[in-house]
């Protein structure tokens, strides 16, 4: 009798669980009509343009009294220019470059990864090589082509992103 009762409870539980899980569609199963983040790669950003983007980002950071590290990579994710502002966190040197590389490699702002992991529970993204789930990496797009990316680090994520947006605005019109 006990075994029969346990079997009935287990069957009822599995039936309810199966029905509940069938009703909740997995958003990862949705097949988009077009490729997301499909901006084509273009010619690499020049040193002069990279330096101008960094100058704009650091000017914004100085105006707000933030000490940041700012990196610009080209369309192949190679470092073109880097600045460490006086007093900027040493650990953020590599992070600023990582944010820029991730933004260009994945053709999207790094804020997308942050939001996907924190808000959408897309933990699988943490398993992808070179992902960084912290805002402050922004692609640089000229004439519809990805020419590089800028990454800022050293402050709160919102500070990094705000300075990077100013730097990116020198290219992204």
pLDDT string in tens for the chain (173-residue length): 555 655 555 455 555 455 555 567 777 788 989 988 889 999 999 999 999 999 999 999 999 999 999 999 999 999 999 999 999 999 999 999 999 999 999 999 999 999 999 998 888 888 889 999 999 999 999 999 999 999 999 999 999 999 999 999 999 98
pLDDT at residue 25, as a whole number: 79
pLDDT at residue 24, as a whole number: 75
DSSP string spanning 98-148? HHHHHHHHTTS-THHHHHHHHTS--GGGGGSTT---SS-EEEEEETTEEEE
pLDDT at residue 62, as a whole number: 98
pLDDT at residue 6, as a whole number: 54
Angle between helices 157-168 and 47-63 (to 10 degrees): 130
Give the residue extent of every domain in the chain. Answer: 47-168
Whole-model pTM: value is 0.82
Tokens of 156: 């709160």
pLDDT at residue 143, as a whole number: 96
Q: What is the pLDDT of residues 44-64, one digit of tens each?
A: 999 999 999 999 999 999 999
pLDDT at residue 73, as a whole number: 98
d(CA 100, CA 149): 5
CATH of domain 47-168: 3.30.450.150
pLDDT at residue 2, as a whole number: 57
pLDDT at residue 7, as a whole number: 53
DSSP code for 41: B
Q: What is the pLDDT of residues 79-94, one digit of tens each?
A: 999 999 999 999 999 9
pLDDT at residue 85, as a whole number: 98
pLDDT at residue 101, as a whole number: 98
């Amino acid at each position: 009798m006990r075994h029969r009762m346990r079997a009935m409870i287990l069957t009822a539980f599995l039936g309810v669980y199966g029905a509940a899980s069938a009703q909740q569609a997995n958003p990862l199963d949705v097949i988009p009509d077009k490729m997301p983040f499909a901006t084509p790669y273009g010619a690499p950003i020049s040193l002069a343009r990279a330096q101008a983007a960094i100058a704009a980002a650091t000017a914004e950071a100085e105006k707000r009294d933030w000490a940041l590290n700012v990196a610009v990579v080209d369309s192949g994710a190679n470092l073109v220019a880097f600045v460490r502002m006086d007093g900027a966190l040493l650990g953020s040197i590599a992070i600023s470059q990582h944010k820029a590389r991730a933004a260009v490699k994945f053709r999207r702002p790094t804020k997308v990864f942050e939001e996907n992991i924190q808000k959408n529970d897309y933990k699988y993204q943490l398993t992808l090589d070179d992902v960084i789930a912290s805002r402050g990496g922004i692609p640089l797009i000229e004439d519809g082509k990805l020419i590089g990316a800028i990454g800022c680090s050293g402050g709160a994520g919102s500070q990094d992103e705000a300075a990077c947006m100013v730097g990116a605005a020198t290219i992204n019109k």
